[in-house]
């Protein structure tokens, strides 16, 4: 027994620590909550917004945070949960709102239509546009790259060590909606689709080539703060025929022909937890009315990601500069 | 094999008739079912139990966090430092103090404390579950043999694969993060504890039985006390494994440093790197502290007299009184719960941290790396292309485009030659599984990357390992570097390579090489060190030069350790496959990442199973003939490593 004395000391200390922690919790919680309630507005209380991993989402989340805190006196918590798990988080009421969802239709079917635990919050106003992009200098030198037909026969220009004797097409973040492999096949272009990985890695790849003024063709989209930093031009893909059932989200092994058109405009949605929508909180009314343009979002995103401004400040600055817009959102 | 390749190149892909192509959609259906059950009106008892566990885990993390905040930041520093100083000595105490100071200066205090609370909860629960299982497994060989494959799977299957089911079952937040960590951290707790209990000599057990001890008495009075060191090693290793899941935990609401890493990658890479450094500092501090406590409190070393024991007790009491005093004074003076951003005096306001300065340094480093005109880029870019053209691509082409039966047969044959009959059969079965679940092409693509990475890691690792074994100074200098490589989130150290070697697949390979070499270096160093001095002296007596001794005596005698290093290297390399997927390695890692991010859940699970099968297959191919009949559990990946760790100190260099 004696040999164990010090282990016991450790165990006792841990037990003590835990029991103290428990007491601390009991004591702290009500007073903390009370303080928050006293300083908060009438019945806004606490709102949990989820920030997605990219800078645009940081921008709109912190704009909303500034308005909720300064105008409505809410207490705002920002979580950073990955795109798909956040649906379950909303279903469980752990997250109140996601302001920038890029059409996760599978999840809509499960959580909104079937279970009804998540509700649509309408469009944010920002419109997503996906396409094939090249640096502006390349477009200036080769005006025929205006449309995809101009690329035909010129694939060699885009050769890199890893694309072998084909041209390199730098694919998008694997988690994004895309159909480039299939498009390349359907359009009969001699490109090798190279995956660069997650967005930061893809950005690293094309910005590197951009700085070297080398040719590069890649999957890209707007709104994106880097569009303010780099001069890019878009290669037009075959137009989307009215009423055609051309698809954008390619699954492994499908017929390439069904994807042979430009990407459709993505309406970016706000989503709310059902519990939050039913709570009658003024925060819900405000978030429901909130609207941003692509320019607004890119501006704030660039301040945060490009100029490394603190997100809180960047959000508040935008709110101060756009009082009229914000006034329309308020209940 | 090469001949077949040229004759039949590309003609025989894995046959569709041997593929179970409906598997991913079946798994998707299972997930949908789970979701429906979870949101049903009357959840069944199973979910009630899970909810209870979730509530408990949430409570534990929150309670710890509140406790740290209640202590105030001054009190937290004092409590951590003084506690470790008392039980682990002043050196360990200083390391802990330095860690706290650095969190504060980096401006990551709150995140660090959140991570610390999460890790403490995860480690306590891992031990609470793992140690009893380990004790039982240590006393029952059949049970141990039965659970070993399960433990292997828990460690090899990438966390990305089971993130979504965990979120469905436990929602997001601390509980989900803790459970995710448990899956990864319980196996080492079980294994090391079991090993400790097993290693208690039969004589001691028989002696106690001869004195009429009951099995329970034998366990508590003989086996457990004698396994004490090993059990503390289990604590240490559980902490290390838990810390490596911090980043993943960030994806499902674990908060803390992991959050900063994942989100920083998209908007502020310098900040992500800084958070990565904080994780390393936390890992090293916890490692040194637990090691020091394990050694200092070892009764076998202390040999205390009654007098000394009384004194020790007084010192302990004084320490706790000191901690309490600091906390109370800090609270009375109104110290903040978390370290503040700025200090205010009556006349001016001071920045309380130097985060901006440090970020400036890191950013200038990143700017240099991102500059394609820099000198280093002129070297690294061609090097990256060279690796791709001469190693990665040719090997991939051979593995993928050879007729499937040639690749399958060839790898099985290598397993047979290197390791023997039974491992070869297992390897064959595992490789066939990869084909059947429809993952042959990406599986072989990943295999080519894993093999190239392992070969590079082994060459570099053996060279450095031998050097370190010959020169204690080199070893000492290497130790912090190796610790950093093992604990820095791979997502962080892959960043510079994305810029420096802008070729898909190469940054992933480099990241896995960096992750695998510490283990190889340690095993090689330990192996060469353990060569009996008599053999070396004999060679020297015959006039052998230093190089001759090394080449003819030390390295051959350390062959087994070196082989184990190769084997462990492969397992470590496989652990980075998913991270590789995020930086352009494609293949299985890409599919696993996509499984979570685009909700192709079934696909992600199947790709993860392929990684597991590949891991087991490559483990068997390279395990060599070290398996002896009575050494049954020495089979799974990691186990051999842990066994070796009795010579190799946890997280550190050889003793």
Contact B572, B461 (CB under 8 A): no
Segments in chain A below pLDDT 50: 1-4, 20-41
Report the pLDDT value the prediction gives residue B645, as an integer from 0 to 100: 37
Query: Which residue among B225, B250, B590 places its CB closest to the CB of A174?
Result: B590
Highest-confidence range of A246-255, B3-12, B178-187, by mean pLDDT?
B178-187
Same domain? A158 vs A84: no
Query: Which band of pLDDT confidence, cut at 50, 70 and 90, is reported for residue B643?
Result: very low
Residue A318 lies in a domain: yes
A171-208 pLDDT, tens digit per residue, is: 988 778 888 988 999 999 999 988 887 888 888 889 88
Contact A109, A87 (CB under 8 A): no
Domain end (from A259, A282, A307): A259
Q: What does DSSP assign to residue A147?
A: B
Is residue B162 scored above 90 in pLDDT? no
Domain end (from A210, A234, A259): A259
| pTM reported for the whole predicted model | 0.82
ipTM of the complex: 0.74
Q: Determine which of B251, B320, B504 to mutate to test the interface with A (most A C-beta atoms within 10 Å).
A: B504
Instruction: Look up the CATH number of the domain holding residue A149.
Output: 3.40.190.100
Report the pLDDT value the prediction gives residue B649, as an integer from 0 to 100: 34
* Other C-beta atoms lying within 10 Å of the C-beta of residue B340: 14
Same domain? A132 vs A254: yes
Domain end (from A201, A233, A259): A259
- Residue A223: cis peptide before it, omega within 30 degrees of 0: yes
Length of chain A, please? 331
Residue A25 lies in a domain: no
Could B269 and A200 be called an inter-chain contact, meaning their C-beta atoms sit closer than 8 Å? yes
Could B253 and A89 be called an inter-chain contact, meaning their C-beta atoms sit closer than 8 Å? yes
Interatomic CA distance for residues B299 and B622, integer angstroms: 40
B464-512 pLDDT, tens digit per residue, is: 988 888 888 888 888 888 888 877 887 787 878 888 887 778 888 888 8
Interatomic CA distance for residues A217 and A206, integer angstroms: 8
Contacts of B160 in chain A (CB under 8 A): none
Residue A12 lies in a domain: no
Q: Determine which of A170, A201, A228, A312 to mutate to test the interface with B (most B C-beta atoms within 10 Å).
A: A201
* Other C-beta atoms lying within 10 Å of the C-beta of residue B345: 7
B532-547 pLDDT, tens digit per residue, is: 888 888 888 888 888 8
Same domain? A235 vs A271: no
Residue A150 lies in a domain: yes
Q: Determine which of A56, A90, A95, A197 to mutate to test the interface with B (most B C-beta atoms within 10 Å).
A: A197
Instruction: Look up the CATH number of the domain holding residue A306.
Output: 3.40.190.10
B11-41 pLDDT, tens digit per residue, is: 677 777 777 777 888 888 888 888 877 777 6
Share of chain B above pLDDT 90, in %: 8
Could A3 and B586 be called an inter-chain contact, meaning their C-beta atoms sit closer than 8 Å? no
Same domain? A212 vs A106: no
Mean of the pLDDT values across residues B404-414? 85
In DSSP terms, which residues pair with B342 in a beta bridge? Answer: B351
Residue of A nearest to B299 (CA): A3
Of A227-231, B305-309, B514-518, B606-610, which range is least confident? B305-309
Q: Cα distance from A200 to chain B (closest Cα, Å)?
A: 6
Of A178-182, B338-342, B625-629, which range is least confident? B625-629
Could B597 and A20 be called an inter-chain contact, meaning their C-beta atoms sit closer than 8 Å? no
Same domain? A91 vs A198: no
Contact B118, B174 (CB under 8 A): yes
Interatomic CA distance for residues A190 and A262, integer angstroms: 18
Contacts of B225 in chain A (CB under 8 A): 3-4
Contacts of A20 in chain B (CB under 8 A): 67, 70
B11 Cβ neighbours under 8 A, 6+ residues apart: B403
Q: Cα distance from A17 to chain B (closest Cα, Å)?
A: 8
Contacts of B388 in chain A (CB under 8 A): 161-162
Could B265 and A198 be called an inter-chain contact, meaning their C-beta atoms sit closer than 8 Å? yes
Question: What's the distance, CA B440 to chain centroid?
Answer: 27
Of A132-146, A304-318, B70-84, B195-209, which range is least confident? B195-209
H or E element in which residue B187 lies:
helix B174-199
B523 Cβ neighbours under 8 A, 6+ residues apart: B465, B561, B562, B564, B565, B568, B641, B644, B648
Interatomic CA distance for residues B499 and A208, integer angstroms: 7
| Residue whose pair of structure tokens reads 């469009």 in the numeric block | A123
Q: Cα distance from B585 to chain A (closest Cα, Å)?
A: 7
φ, ψ dihedrals at A171, nearest 5° = -75, 165
Report the pLDDT value the prediction gives residue B89, as an integer from 0 to 100: 85
Q: Which residue has the higher pLDDT, B184 or B224?
A: B184
Report the pLDDT value the prediction gives residue B358, as an integer from 0 to 100: 86
Report the pLDDT value the prediction gives residue B557, as an integer from 0 to 100: 80
Query: Which residue among A53, A88, A199 places its CB closest to the CB of B172?
Result: A88
Report the pLDDT value the prediction gives residue A135, as an integer from 0 to 100: 94
Same domain? A293 vs A319: yes
Contacts of B584 in chain A (CB under 8 A): 194-197, 201-202, 205
Same domain? A96 vs A152: no
Could B583 and A94 be called an inter-chain contact, meaning their C-beta atoms sit closer than 8 Å? no
φ, ψ dihedrals at A266, nearest 5° = -95, 120
Contacts of B603 in chain A (CB under 8 A): 252
Residue of B nearest to A52 (CA): B263
The 3-state DSSP class for residue A50 equals strand
Same domain? A46 vs A118: yes
Residue A188 lies in a domain: yes
State how many domains chain A has: 2
Q: Cα distance from A331 to chain B (closest Cα, Å)?
A: 31
In DSSP terms, which residues pair with A267 in a beta bridge? Answer: A127
Interatomic CA distance for residues B311 and B558, integer angstroms: 46
Report the pLDDT value the prediction gives residue B537, as an integer from 0 to 100: 84
Interatomic CA distance for residues B278 and B256, integer angstroms: 11
Report the pLDDT value the prediction gives residue A321, as an integer from 0 to 100: 92
Residue A253 lies in a domain: yes
Q: Determine which of B253, B272, B508 to mutate to test the interface with A (most A C-beta atoms within 10 Å).
A: B253
Residue A16 lies in a domain: no
Residue A18 lies in a domain: no
Same domain? A238 vs A225: yes
Average pLDDT score, chain B: 81
Could B64 and A10 be called an inter-chain contact, meaning their C-beta atoms sit closer than 8 Å? no
Structure tokens at A37: 């309630």
Interatomic CA distance for residues B409 and B422, integer angstroms: 15
Q: Determine which of B78, B87, B167, B364 to mutate to test the interface with A (most A C-beta atoms within 10 Å).
A: B167
Interatomic CA distance for residues B3 and B224, integer angstroms: 58
Residue of A nearest to B121 (CA): A18
Could B385 and A161 be called an inter-chain contact, meaning their C-beta atoms sit closer than 8 Å? yes
Structural domain of A97: 39-127+266-329
A and B: number of Cβ contacts within 8 A:
190
Same domain? A223 vs A277: no
Query: Which residue among A53, A83, A85 places its CB closest to the CB of B266?
Result: A53
Report how far apart the first and last C-alpha atoms of chain B are (Å, whole number): 44
Interatomic CA distance for residues B193 and B233, integer angstroms: 9
Same domain? A134 vs A244: yes
Report the pLDDT value the prediction gives residue A38, as an integer from 0 to 100: 37
**How far is the CA of B142 from the CAs of A67, A319, B633, in angstroms?**
63, 66, 9
Same domain? A255 vs A137: yes
């Amino acid at each position: 027994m004696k040999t164990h004395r010090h282990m016991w000391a450790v165990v006792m200390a841990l037990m003590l620590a835990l029991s103290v922690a428990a007491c601390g919790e009991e004591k702290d919680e009500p007073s903390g909550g009370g303080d928050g309630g006293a300083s908060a507005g009438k019945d806004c209380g606490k709102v949990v917004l989820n920030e997605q991993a990219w800078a645009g989402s940081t921008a709109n989340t912190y704009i909303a945070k500034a308005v909720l805190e300064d105008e409505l006196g809410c207490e705002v918590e920002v979580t950073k949960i990955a795109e798909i798990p956040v649906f379950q988080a909303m279903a469980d009421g752990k997250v109140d709102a996601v302001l920038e969802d890029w059409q996760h239709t599978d999840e809509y079917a499960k959580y909104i239509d079937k279970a009804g635990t998540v509700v649509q919050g309408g469009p944010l106003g920002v419109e997503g546009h996906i396409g094939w992009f090249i640096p502006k200098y390349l477009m200036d030198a080769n005006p025929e790259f205006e449309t995809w037909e101009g690329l035909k026969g010129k694939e060699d220009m885009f050769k890199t060590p890893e694309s072998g004797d084909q041209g390199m097409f730098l694919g998008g973040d694997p988690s994004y909606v895309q159909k480039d492999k299939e498009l390349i096949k359907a359009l009969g272009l001699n490109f090798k689709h190279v995956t660069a990985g997650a967005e930061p890695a893809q950005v690293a790849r094309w910005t590197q080539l951009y700085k070297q003024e080398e040719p590069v063709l890649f999957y890209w989209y707007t709104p994106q703060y880097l569009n303010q930093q780099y001069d890019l031009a878009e290669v037009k893909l075959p137009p989307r025929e009215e009423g055609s059932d051309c698809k954008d989200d390619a699954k492994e092994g499908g017929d390439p022909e069904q994807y042979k058109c430009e990407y459709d405009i993505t309406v970016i949605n706000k989503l709310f937890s059902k519990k939050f929508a039913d709570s009658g909180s003024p925060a819900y009314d405000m978030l429901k009315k909130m609207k941003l343009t692509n320019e607004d979002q890119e501006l704030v995103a660039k301040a945060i990601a490009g100029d490394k401004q603190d997100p809180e400040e960047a959000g508040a600055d935008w709110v101060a500069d756009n009082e009229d817009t914000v006034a329309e959102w308020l209940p | 094999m090469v001949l077949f390749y040229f004759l039949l190149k590309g003609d025989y892909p894995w046959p569709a008739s041997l593929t179970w192509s409906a598997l991913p959609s079946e798994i998707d259906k299972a997930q949908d079912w789970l979701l429906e059950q979870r949101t049903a009106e009357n959840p069944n008892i199973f979910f009630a139990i899970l909810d209870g566990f979730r509530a408990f885990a949430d409570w534990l993390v929150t309670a710890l966090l509140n406790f740290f905040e209640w202590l105030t930041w001054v009190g937290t520093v004092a409590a951590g430092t003084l506690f470790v100083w008392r039980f682990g000595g002043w050196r360990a105490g200083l390391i802990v103090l330095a860690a706290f100071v650095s969190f504060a200066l980096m401006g990551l205090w709150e995140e660090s404390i959140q991570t610390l609370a999460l890790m403490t909860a995860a480690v306590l629960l891992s031990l609470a579950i793992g140690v009893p299982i380990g004790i039982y497994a240590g006393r029952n060989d059949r049970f141990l043999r039965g659970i070993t494959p399960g433990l292997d799977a828990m460690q090899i299957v990438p966390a990305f694969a089971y993130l979504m089911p965990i979120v469905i079952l436990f929602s997001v937040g601390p509980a989900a993060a803790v459970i995710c960590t448990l899956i990864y951290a319980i196996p080492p707790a079980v294994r090391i504890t079991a090993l400790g209990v097993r290693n208690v000599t039969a004589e001691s057990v028989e002696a106690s039985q001869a004195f009429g001890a009951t099995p329970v008495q034998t366990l508590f009075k003989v086996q457990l006390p004698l396994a004490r060191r090993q059990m503390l090693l289990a604590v240490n290793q559980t902490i290390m494994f838990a810390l490596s899941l911090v980043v993943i935990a960030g994806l499902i609401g674990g908060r803390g440093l992991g959050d900063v890493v994942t989100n920083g990658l998209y908007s502020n890479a310098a900040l992500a790197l800084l958070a990565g450094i904080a994780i390393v500092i936390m890992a090293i501090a916890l490692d040194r502290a637990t090691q020091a406590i394990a050694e200092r409190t070892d009764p076998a070393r202390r040999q205390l007299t009654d007098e000394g024991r009384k004194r020790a007790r007084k010192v302990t009491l004084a320490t706790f009184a000191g901690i309490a005093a600091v906390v109370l004074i800090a609270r009375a003076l109104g110290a903040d719960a978390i370290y503040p951003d700025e200090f205010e005096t009556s006349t001016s306001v001071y920045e309380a941290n130097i985060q901006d300065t440090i970020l400036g340094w890191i950013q200038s480093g990143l700017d240099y790396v991102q500059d394609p005109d820099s000198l280093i880029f002129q070297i690294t870019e061609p090097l990256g292309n060279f690796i791709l053209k001469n190693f990665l691509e040719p090997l991939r082409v051979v593995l993928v485009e050879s007729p499937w039966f040639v690749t399958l047969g060839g790898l099985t044959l290598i397993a047979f030659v290197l390791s023997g009959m039974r491992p070869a059969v297992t390897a064959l079965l595992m490789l066939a599984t990869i084909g059947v679940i429809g993952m042959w092409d990406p599986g072989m693509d990943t295999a080519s990357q894993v093999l190239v990475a392992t070969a590079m890691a082994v060459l570099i690792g053996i060279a450095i390992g031998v050097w370190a074994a010959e020169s204690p100074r080199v070893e000492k200098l290497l130790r912090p570097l190796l610790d950093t490589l093992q604990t820095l989130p791979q997502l962080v150290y892959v960043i510079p390579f994305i810029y420096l070697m802008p070729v898909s697949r190469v940054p992933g390979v480099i990241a896995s090489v960096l992750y695998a070499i510490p283990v190889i270096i340690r095993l090689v160093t330990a192996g060469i060190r353990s060569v009996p001095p008599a053999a070396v002296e004999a060679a020297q007596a015959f006039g052998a030069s230093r190089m001759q001794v090394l080449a003819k005596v030390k390295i051959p005698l350390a062959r087994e350790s070196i082989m184990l290093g190769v084997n462990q290297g492969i397992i470590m390399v496989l652990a980075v496959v998913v991270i590789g997927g995020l930086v352009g390695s494609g293949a299985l890692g890409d599919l696993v990442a996509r499984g979570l991010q685009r909700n192709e859940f079934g696909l992600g699970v199947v790709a993860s199973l392929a990684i597991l099968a590949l891991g087991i297959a490559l483990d068997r191919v390279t395990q060599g003939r070290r398996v002896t009949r009575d050494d049954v559990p020495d089979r799974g990946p990691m186990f051999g490593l842990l066994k070796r760790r009795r010579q190799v100190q946890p997280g550190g260099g050889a003793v």
